[in-house]
Structure 1
Amino acid sequence: MSHIHELKLSELPQDDFIELRLLLAEREKVVKAINLFAATAENKNYLPAQVLKTTLHHNKIIMAALSKQLKQIEKSVDTLIKRNDVFNHQDELLQSIPGVGRQTSIMFIAYTQAFTLFKTYHQFACFAGVAPFEYSSGSSVRGKTKVSPLANKKIKTALNMAALTAKKYDPQLKLYYDKKVAAGKNKMLVLNAIRCKLISRAFAVINRNTPFVNTLKAVA
C-alpha cells in the first residue's frame, strides 16, 4: 500500500488491436489443427495402406476446409492492416528488415500495440524471452547468461524463424553469425543475439520512421 501512488492504471487497447490479436489467435488454432491432421500421414510406413485409406481420405477433406478457412483469416488480417493507417505504415517499415516477414511484422504490431507499450527494444526483448540475463550470487558465484523462461512463446517462435531467415539472406547478420561461431560461440546463443538484433532494428525503423538500410551493402 505504501507504493500505491506509483500504480499506473492500464488502458484497454483499441478495438483494432483486440481484433488483430483475436485473428492471430484463431490463425494459430487453425495452423495447429492442420498440422495435427497432417501428422496422421506419418503412419503410412508403419501401417497397412488399406487401414489408413479411409482415415487419410477424411483428413484430406478436413485439411482442405481448414486451409480454406486459414486463407479467409489471413485475408481478414490483411484487410484490418490496410484499413488502419498506422498498422499499414508500420508493416511496410518492419518488412524492410531482412528476415522480418508478414507474420513477424504483424506480431510486432499486435504485441507492442503499434510500439506504444514498450519504451525500449530491450524491454520488448525481455517480454519475448530473448534478452540474456547473467546469473550471479554474491560476488564470487557466476554462471552462464540465460534467457528467462517467462516469455511470450508466440513472439519467441516468430523471432526464431525470422532469425534463421535473416542469418541466411542478410549478408551483415550472416557475417556476424559465421564470425561468432568460428570464434567458438554456442550457435544457439549467437542465434538468440540475432533475435535481439532484429528487435533492435524493428524499434529503430519505427522510431526513425524510415525503412531499414543495410550498412554493409552501403559500404560495399
Structure 2
Amino acid sequence: MSRARTRSERRAILVLESPWALDDSDSNRSSVRPFVEGIAKIEPDVDVFSANFYDKSSFRLALESLCKVTFDNAIVYVAAHGHPGTIGGVKITDAMFMIGEAAKKHGITGLMLGSCFVGGDTVKLEVFIEGTGLRWAAGYSSSCNWLEGTLVDCNIMAKMLHLHSELLSEKDEMIEQLATATALFAKDYEIGEDLNEETVLLRDSLEFVIQPSGSGKRAKRVTDEVFALNALEEEEQE
C-alpha cells in the first residue's frame, strides 16, 4: 500500500459535466455529482465543486467558475458523452488546453476523463500534460457503462487525492496508488465496446498517464505497470 497522506492540504474535485440524457425521459436527471459527493462524505477536507457545460464556450466558463482559488491537490473530473476526439461536444484538444492552463495556476494535479473513447490516445495525453501542473490523467479507450465507469472513476480520484505533493514526485508511489484504486474491480469485467461493437474488458479500456513532479521527468503511459502490479498482488494473495 502507498504511504497515506499525513498532513492537511486543500483538496478538491472539480466536476465539469455535460447533460447525459441516458434515456428519453432523462431531463437532466442523471449526474455523477452524488457519487463524487460520497468521497467528500468520508473525506471531510475534500471540497466538491461542479458546473455544467454544453459546448466549448460554456466549458471555458464552467472551468473558470470552478477555479476561484488555488488548491494543493485538485482533480478535474470531466463527465460527459465522448467520441473519438471530442468530449461533450468539445474537441478534446481544446478541453485539455484549457485544463492545462488552469492547472498551472490553481494546483490541479489530476485529470479524470469520465467519457467514452477519449482516453485511448495516450500519446496526446502525454503531450498535453507536459509543461502543466498535472501529474496524472486517466480515461477510457472504449465505450464505458455509465454506472460502472462512474464507480471506477470515483475510486481512482479518492485514492489519488491521498497523495500529497511529495509523493506526486515519485513514480512508483503513483503507480502503486493507481493499482490500489483499480484493485477493487475485476480486470476482465466487460466495461464497454470498441468502435466495431466488440466487447472490451476493463483492463483493455482504462488508460493511465503520469508525469511525476521534478526536473527532467517526462509524461509516460503506465497502464501496463498498473495492471501488472495488480496481477502480482493477486498472485501473492492466492
TM-score after normalising by structure 2: 0.23
Determine which structure has the larger helix proportion and give its number.
1
Larger Rg: 1
Q: Return the structure number with greater strand share.
A: 2
